[in-house]
């Protein structure tokens, strides 16, 4: 059985989903791509926007979520941590 995702795993999945979509994604797509419920995503998204990792933009009357530079750097750091954990067997 797969282990339950930690808070940091969920954040990494969200940021990665945005990055894989070219740095810009619709909120509903993010919800599906990162396997989250609506309420779960809302709470995580508030945190990510609060930390300036993600920002909301309007394009052609659609709301999009954009990965900021700080968000990209944080994702890079999370990936380094993932690599470190795999290598050191943590």
Partner 1 sequence: MIELTYCPKWFYGRDIIIDIVSMVVLLLIVIFSVSSYRIGKNKKYQWLSFAFSLLFLSFLFKILMNFTVYNHIIETTRIGYAVFTYERIISADNLYFIGHLLYRILTILGLYALYAVYTKPNGPTFALTSILVAVAIFFSNSYNYVFYSLCFVILAMIATFYIKNNYNKRNPKTKLLAASFVIICLSQLVAIFINMNRDLYVVSELMQLLGYLGLLLTYVMVLRDGKKKIKD
Measured from the CB of residue 65, what is the shortest distance to partner 1 in angstroms? 18
For the chain, what's the residue count? 90
The span of 1-9, 27-35, 36-44, 50-58 binding partner 1 (CB under 8 A) equals 1-9
Closest by alpha carbon to 30, among 68, 79, 67? 67
Separation CA 51–CA 17 (nearest Å): 18
Q: Does 31 bind partner 1 (CB under 8 A)?
A: no
In the list 38, 42, 51, 77, the residue contacting partner 1 (rule: CB under 8 A) is: 77
Q: Which residue has the tokens 């995503």?
A: 41
Q: Under the rule (CB under 8 A), what is the footprint of partner 1?
A: 6-8, 19, 72, 75-90
């Amino acid at each position: 059985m797969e282990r339950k995702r930690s808070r940091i795993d969920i954040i990494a999945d969200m940021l990665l989903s945005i990055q894989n979509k070219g740095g810009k994604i619709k909120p509903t797509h993010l919800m599906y791509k990162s396997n989250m419920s609506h309420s779960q995503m809302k709470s995580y998204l508030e945190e990510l926007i609060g930390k300036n990792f993600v920002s909301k933009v309007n394009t052609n009357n659609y709301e999009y979520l954009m990965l900021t530079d700080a968000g990209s750097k944080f994702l890079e750091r999370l990936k380094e941590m993932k690599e470190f954990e795999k290598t050191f067997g943590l």
